[in-house]
Amino acid sequence: MIKILLISSTSACFELENDLAFHSDKAYTVSLNGKALFTADTNVFSVFDLRPMQEYTLEVTGYGTLRFTTAKESCAVNVRDFGAKGDGVTDDTQSIQTAIHCLPPDGRLFFPEGIYLTAPLTLKSHITLDLSENSVLLGHTDPTRYPIIPGITRDLETGKELHFGTWEGNAVPMHQALLFAEYAEDIRIIGRGVIDGNAQNSTWWIDVKNREVPRPRLLFFNRCKSVSVHGVTVRNAASWQIHPYFSSFLSFLDLRVEAPADSPNTDALDPEACDHVRIIGCQFSVGDDCIAIKSGKIEIGRTFRKPASDHVIRNCLMQFGHGAVTLGSEMAGGVRDLTVERCLFHETDRGLRIKTRRGRGKDAVIDGVTFEKIRMDGVKTPIVLNMWYNCCDPDRFSEYNTTREKLPVDERTPYLGSFTFRDMECLNCHVAACYCDGLPEMPIGEITVENLLFTYADDAVSGVPAMKNNAVEMCRAGMYFDNVGKLTIRNVTVSGCEGEELLLQNVGTLIKE
């Protein structure tokens, strides 16, 4: 009944196996080697300040015991031994970067309590950053301290393109992230400390649409492998908080990712063209999407044909963002095999939010998406599958992207495949229960909704369920489906909607039980 998610040299992360969303059915006490550590009520919890290569006995009241042994490490060094002050005033960049360079493989860099003011840091393979409780990595507010990474360079001998910088699905120059790694592997960022982009005290959130070079992310991993981020709090990024890009075997466990509700483009975690991604036990409250799974815009999608694949999101809490789990809109490489389960969505604009449109291309295939055992409260529209997304790109208002006429299927046409929504409770909805709008020339393949309950807030506010051209405001609307190949509805209750519970247009096969 207790599952091990991660064992590092000094920390461990565990998950209680049940059918509940985010919280356990009762509080429990965690003990280690017979000593009580804390009481909690979430399905995922962690222990820290362990010793390398030590055997421990973990006991969780009501769930049993297990034994585990922490990982080995080659050494552990204190960042202050390299001159870091941690006083929040001294520039500690050079000291921290020197310490990272000096670490041998499997070495751990320890940050004791303090505020470490730093410009961007470059990570390398086979290291651990260990941020102790009450330690803060604090980003400089001066934009000139963030070097510009080119989007594309060319090999001097072969002329082959090399991709480094990116922004919203395109290979373009960008400012270096505060924690930055490219072509590296076996990296761990662990602990109870904080990584703070400090954007609230800078100019990063001002006049964001008129910048020559896009704002930096807080954590950026390009073409990396085996990266684990565990336990830390990540907050106040200049733009996206955590952005893995063309990377594999990634674990994001028991994190807290935070930004003000009105902060621009501060998505919590955006894996782009990544595979084998675990996002478990995390808490998100940001100014944009909580999780946005991406795979590049059309040039990236056509060049690499690398779908986002094999993602698991479980036991997470998403609050106040635009979308709890978003797919796209930069998804020209496709998204395949996504499972979201046992999560709690609280007052996000949308629960599942799929954003695509004509022009994303034939490789823009989203397929194999399952949502189950989800609880939503105060989510304006719990399920949105939108093939008419109208933001960000110059052609968004073109006739091609606005006409409801059936167009020829060609190289530019995206596809949405199979979607399953099962065992979900969606309370206090506002705008609509769900809104699924496919293309007339490429209907959404198959949607199954089973064992779902929708209710509506007493003070429900109207709004548009999906960002598209010519959108019509709704309030307490039922389940809307347009241009869907096959729709299966089993044991679904829509309680308190205004008008028809089921609004159907251009649905090929309907199975209703």
Q: How does pLDDT run across 499-508, given as a tens digit for each residue?
A: 999 999 999 9
b/e map 14-36, b = 16+ CB within 10 Å: bbbeeeebbbbeeebebbbeeee
In this prediction, residues 70-94 reach a mean pLDDT of 98
- Please tell me whether residues 356 and 314 are part of one structural domain: yes
Out of 228-232, 281-285, 358-362, 483-487, which region has the weakest mean confidence (pLDDT)? 358-362
The yes-or-no verdict on residue 73 having pLDDT over 80 is yes
271 inside domain: no
430 inside domain: yes
In this prediction, residues 166-177 reach a mean pLDDT of 96
The yes-or-no verdict on residue 373 having pLDDT over 90 is yes
Strands (E), 167-259: 174-175, 179-182, 185-191, 194-196, 219-222, 225-230, 233-235, 242-245, 248-253, 256-258
- Please tell me whether residues 51 and 102 are part of one structural domain: no
Domain boundary among 177, 210, 227: 227
- Please tell me whether residues 55 and 121 are part of one structural domain: no
Domain boundary among 227, 249, 266: 227
**DSSP character for 331?**
B
pTM to 2 decimal places: 0.97
- Please tell me whether residues 444 and 344 are part of one structural domain: yes
Write the CATH number for 432.
Answer: 2.160.20.10
- Please tell me whether residues 45 and 85 are part of one structural domain: no
For residue range 121-148, list pLDDT tens digits in order: 999 999 999 999 999 999 999 999 999 9
E strand or H helix at 102: helix 93-102
405 inside domain: yes
- Please tell me whether residues 171 and 124 are part of one structural domain: yes
Beta bridge partners of 181: 221
Alpha-carbon distance of 13 to 156, in angstroms, equals 45
Out of 137-151, 169-183, 386-400, 450-464, which region has the weakest mean confidence (pLDDT)? 386-400
- Catalytic-residue membership of 322: yes
Confidence at residue 321, expressed as pLDDT on a 0 to 100 scale: 83
Alpha-carbon distance of 501 to 492, in angstroms, equals 10
The yes-or-no verdict on residue 393 having pLDDT over 80 is no
Confidence at residue 397, expressed as pLDDT on a 0 to 100 scale: 85
Q: Which of 130, 196, 267, 288 is catalytic?
A: 288
- Please tell me whether residues 315 and 389 are part of one structural domain: yes
- Please tell me whether residues 48 and 148 are part of one structural domain: no
The yes-or-no verdict on residue 509 having pLDDT over 90 is yes
Residue 195, helix vs strand vs coil: strand
236 inside domain: no
Q: How far is CA 21 from CA 128, 256, 276, in A?
A: 31, 17, 22
**DSSP character for 404?**
-
For residue range 297-349, list pLDDT tens digits in order: 989 998 999 999 999 999 999 998 889 999 998 999 999 999 999 999 999 99
213 inside domain: yes
Number of compact structural domains in the chain: 3
Beta bridge partners of 7: 12
Q: What percent of the chain has pLDDT over 90?
A: 95
419 inside domain: yes
The yes-or-no verdict on residue 103 having pLDDT over 80 is yes
Residue 298, helix vs strand vs coil: helix
Residue 57 pLDDT level (bands cut at 50, 70, 90)? very high
266 inside domain: no
Q: Which of 243, 322, 346, 430 is catalytic?
A: 322
- Please tell me whether residues 374 and 422 are part of one structural domain: yes
Alpha-carbon distance of 344 to 23, in angstroms, equals 9
Range of the domain at 388: 289-513
Write the CATH number for 14.
Answer: 2.60.40.10
Half-sphere exposure of 377 (CA within 13 A, CB side): 7
Higher pLDDT, 395 or 22: 22
Alpha-carbon distance of 387 to 401, in angstroms, equals 10
- Please tell me whether residues 364 and 454 are part of one structural domain: yes
Class of residue 366 by CB neighbours under 10 A (exposed 0-12, middle 13-18, buried 19+): buried
Residue 394 pLDDT level (bands cut at 50, 70, 90)? confident
Domain boundary among 194, 227, 260: 227
For residue range 199-214, list pLDDT tens digits in order: 999 999 999 999 999 9
- Please tell me whether residues 82 and 209 are part of one structural domain: yes
Confidence at residue 67, expressed as pLDDT on a 0 to 100 scale: 98
- Please tell me whether residues 50 and 80 are part of one structural domain: no
334 inside domain: yes
- Catalytic-residue membership of 288: yes
What's the first-to-final CA gap in the chain, in angstroms? Answer: 34
In this prediction, residues 245-258 reach a mean pLDDT of 98
Mean pLDDT, the chain, whole residue set: 96
The yes-or-no verdict on residue 461 having pLDDT over 90 is yes
Confidence at residue 392, expressed as pLDDT on a 0 to 100 scale: 73
Confidence at residue 391, expressed as pLDDT on a 0 to 100 scale: 82
Alpha-carbon distance of 354 to 291, in angstroms, equals 12
Both structure tokens of 239: 């733009």
For residue range 403-434, list pLDDT tens digits in order: 999 999 999 999 999 999 999 999 999 999 99
Q: Over the Cα atoms of the chain, what is R_g?
A: 23
Pairing relationship of beta strands 148-149 and 121-122 according to DSSP bridges:
unpaired
